[in-house]
Structure 1
Amino acid sequence: MRFKTDLKNVKTFSKLTAALSSLEKVAWMRLDDDTVRFTVIPDQGSQVWASLSMDHIFDSYQLQSAEPHNTINLELPLGPLHRALKSADDKNCTSASLRLTKKNNVPLLSMTITTTTTSSSGPAYSRFAGRGGGSGLARDNLGGAGPFDDDDGEFPVEPLETDLNREREKIITQDIPVRVLHPEHVETIMQPKVREPDVHIQLPPLLSLKAISDRFTKLAVAARTGSSSSAAAGANASSAAASSYSPKLEISANMHGSLRLALTADSLDVASQWDGLENPELDPGQLNCPLEDHPSTRFREGGPGRWATVRVDGRDWSRVLSVGRLEGRVIACFADEHALILYVYVPQYDDVSAEDSVVTYYVSSYSM
């Protein structure tokens, strides 16, 4: 089993691991000849299935195993991987590589980072003196003519460059412990199956959506804290209730370009709406039914008042929206009262002709 590669698009790789680590501490990484996949399945909350071409984040990679398509399955901690990538995402970093190795019979992903720093040395020597100077190179100690005297005893005066910029190379190695997974165990990891979506819509920038979602969540927590304070016997009970409480946000969309985020609680009823969004056209060749029979067609024909709705945990939803740091377009597919699937398209900036990689989030809906 062998895996060795140089890293490219380190910034994108770092942002992806940051988004994944907000949901869970551990991920499954699957490598094969063409694709690298990251899967995060927490005990509770949203699942992530990310699929990127090997060329998106790796360069000059070598991959070899006894499995078909040279498949290697690894379980890895996201925190140490993200910290190592942050070290590689530095303006002084000239190269970074990753390889699967073993120390003391423990499998490791070893990241080697090469950085350069420039140091400047201060002046070490005075400049040559001109006429009347004290260096006396034109005459000997006895006042006679020196071996380099010319007729007038003068020499051309030039500065001695002593402020030398020296580049120094530093190599940093960070070892990330991993587990090599058996293929039979991996086969039990299955993506959730969701029915055809009722509404599909391109979301506004996720970071702005996250800001409003977080605001709604804080309002709900503050309102609950206030009501708990009046009823609770002490501040500790109120604080514990607030820390464990996460409100349910209601997200709705229609097939006429509108998205709505709402929060309804005992003392709160707030909502925010976006209009003029895009409902992308479906490819009939990828559908399991004729386009006219697709659920989204019925929702479109139902007019702007026909909404598909899901209810999500406020804090989990905030962690999902952290994937907005990848700055790709996001298509949300609503299965009414059942689930929300987000397709995050990660652009490959160094090759505009290449297909975008996709990070898929599965968010289950809470019942009323």
Structure 2
Amino acid sequence: MRFKTDLKNIRTFSKLAAALNSLEKIAWIRLDDDTVRFTVIPEVGSQVWASLSADLIFDNYQLQSNEPANTINLELPLAPLQRALRSAINSHNANLRLTKKDGAPMLSMVIHTMTKDSGGPNPAAPHSRSAADDDDNDPFNTPSPFPTEPLELQMRREREKIITQDIPVRVLHPDTVETIMQPKVREPDVHIQLPPLLQLKAISDRFTKLAMTAASTSSSSHNNIVTKDPKLELSANMHGSLRLRLRTDTLDITSVWDGLENPELDPSQLAMPLEEHPSTVFREAGRDKWATVRVDGKDWSRVLSVGRLEGRVIACFSDEHALILYVYVPHSSGGVGEMEDVVTYYVSSFSS
């Protein structure tokens, strides 16, 4: 079994690791000849299924195993990975390889950076001269209105600094991996491109904070220290509108976005005629036909942390059942026709 690669797009990789780490501390990573898959399945909360082209984050990618497509399955802690990637962001070169230390498997990240050292005066530099040393008849020997600056030059030498970060991993047997199944959901009732996630997160966090404050005040007045996690209601229609709502015994506040895009579906990718698709039914029902899910406010905030990847996000609503987020990560500038990879979030809906 062999895995060795150089890192590229380290900043994107670091942002992904941070987003995953906000949901769970452990991830399963599946490497094969062409693809890198990250899976995060917390005991409670939203699940993540990220499928990335190997060339998005890796270069000089070398992989070898006895499994089909040279597949290697690893379980790794996300916090050490995030710390290592943060250290590598400003490096000029970083590589990652699977190795063993004291018999235990490790992902070893070697980071090469350049530092500058300050040296003493340059002995080859000329020394400054005082006015007394000059010939009195020197026509250029006139007082200057500017302060005299020393000509001694400080030598600055670049020195390479090598940092090694070891991330403990566990190699998973293929039989174990077969039990990790992606959730199956029905065809979505509404699909819509979300507004910028950092904007949506700010308002969602505000609603959650208001709900917690109201719940805390209510529980204190009733001598009750148990406070339920606040639930937010997300709704969307097939006419470009998204609604975020908080309803409690004492609050009912709503924020609405209009003018959003409902992307067109590709009929060749559907298991049914487009005119029979649930989203077509919702579109024809008009603006008042909403698909709704209810999410835990704190978990939803962690999900929205993926906004740091700065890709477009398509939300697929299965009414009263689940919300699927498809986060498209561009390979470079994200221009028209730019190649993209996808990170998928599965968010279950709570009952009303």
Normalised TM-score (structure 2): 0.91
Partner of 1:82: 82
Letter in 1 for 2:205: D
Q: Give matches, 1:139-218, under 5 Å.
A: 162-218=153-209
Call closer, same or farther: CA 1:72–1:354 in 2, change over 3 Å: farther
Shift of 1:326: 0.3
Q: Does 1:337 align with 2:328?
A: no
Residue 359 of structure 1: CA displacement?
0.2
Structure 1 residue 14 displacement after superposition = 0.3
Confirm whether residue 283 of structure 1 aligns to residue 266 of structure 2.
yes
Contact 2:332 2:338 in 1 (8 A): no
Amino acid at match of 1:113: I
| Poorly superposed stretches of 4+, deviation over 4 Å | 128-134, 350-354
Aligned to 1:222: 213
Q: Which residue in 2 is equivalent to 1:365?
A: 349
Q: Which runs of 5+ in 1 are unaligned?
A: 135-158
1:31 CA displacement: 0.3
CA contact (8 A) 2:122 2:155 kept: no
Change over 3 Å in CA distance of 1:131–1:259 after alignment to 2: closer
- Aligned partners of 1:121 and 1:162 also within 8 Å: no
2:151 and 2:246 map into 1 onto residues whose CA distance is: 72
Question: How big is the shift at 1:230?
Answer: 1.4
User: Does residue 19 of the first structure (1) align with residue 19 of the second (2)?
Assistant: yes
Alignment partner, residue 3 of structure 2: 3
- Is the 2:127–2:152 Cα contact (8 Å) retained in structure 1? no
Aligned pairs (5 A) from 1:1-368 = 1-90=1-90, 93-123=91-121, 127=127, 133=133, 162-232=153-223, 238=225, 241-242=226-227, 245-349=228-332, 354-368=338-352
Q: Deviations over 1:36-65 (max 9, x none)?
A: 000000001100000000000000111100
* Contact 2:122/2:152, CA 8 A, preserved across alignment: no
Give per-residue Cα distances to partners, 1:109-166, cap 9 Å, x unaligned. Answer: 00000111112224365717589749xxxxxxxxxxxxxxxxxxxxxxxx97542120
Q: Distance in 2 between matches of 1:310 and 1:171?
A: 49
Secondary structure of 1:121's aligned partner: strand
Amino acid in the other structure paired with 1:313: D
The amino acid of 1:215's aligned partner reads: R
Contact 1:7–1:57 (CA under 8 A) maintained in structure 2:
yes
* Cα deviation digits, residues 224-269 of structure 1 (max 9, x gap): 111111121xxxx64xx34xx3111100000000000001001000
Aligned-partner residue type, residue 349 of structure 2: S
* Distance in 1, Cα, partners of 2:206 & 2:338: 37
**Structure 2 SS opposite 1:164:** strand
Structure number with larger C-alpha Rg? 1
**Percent of residue pairs bearing the same amino acid type:** 72
Post-superposition shift, 1:223? 0.4
Alpha-carbon RMSD across the aligned residues, in angstroms, is 1.8
